[in-house]
Amino acid sequence: MPRVPLGFRRAITDPFSAEDQALLLTITHPDLDAPVYLSTDPTDRLSVDPPSYGTVSGDITYLYVQMTAVLPDDNPKTPRRTSLEFGNVDASYVALARSFLTPARVDMALVFVSDPNAVMKRFARMWLTRASGTDTTIAFDIGRFRADNIPAGRRITVQECPGLRGSSSS
């Protein structure tokens, strides 16, 4: 695993840092026509009419959305989790996110706005575990655990899992 430069760690934790950071999200799902690319920073003006902003990293344009994020920690003893909240969105997006029968994949990257091509920290292969929202906001819970791996409506019984039978030596 690549090490994160100390200057980057200071910049993301220092409230008075001169360096601005952007969180770049890539959301993919088989039901989507194309991946969704989102950014937390309006780095570049993408169009005038209608006005839109985003961050260009590599050859991908990430659209700016109002978003708050809790970044996953680096504790190896706990599974990585995060939560994202998007503001000022249409209520139809909440219905769309909740309509998926299987979880969407979410890849995140932290970059400096001054150099969006250099990824400082990557959180890859995470899954959308829950979507909720109101008329104007949508919240995602994201983690490493894929909820679709658990069969719905089934109980863990000896018939289902024969390894549960213990060997008695009495």
Q: Parse the chain into domains and list their residue ranges.
A: 6-164
For residue 71, give the nearest of 134, 146, 6, 143 by alpha carbon: 143
Q: Is the pLDDT of residue 77 over 80?
A: no
* CA–CA distance, 148 with 102 (Å, rounded to integer): 6
| Structure confidence at residue 24 (pLDDT) | 92
Q: What is the pTM of this model?
A: 0.70
Residues 7-46 have pLDDT tens digits of 444 555 556 556 788 889 999 988 888 998 999 888 889 8
Amino acid 99 reads S
Question: Residue 165's pLDDT band (boundaries 50, 70, 90)?
Answer: low
* CA–CA distance, 13 with 135 (Å, rounded to integer): 32
What element of type H or E holds 11?
helix 6-13
Query: ω before 2 within 30° of 0 (cis)?
Result: no
Rounded mean pLDDT, 124-150: 75
* CA–CA distance, 42 with 147 (Å, rounded to integer): 33
* CA–CA distance, 97 with 106 (Å, rounded to integer): 13
Residues 91-126 have pLDDT tens digits of 777 777 777 778 889 998 988 888 889 888 888 888
Q: Is the pLDDT of residue 166 over 50?
A: yes
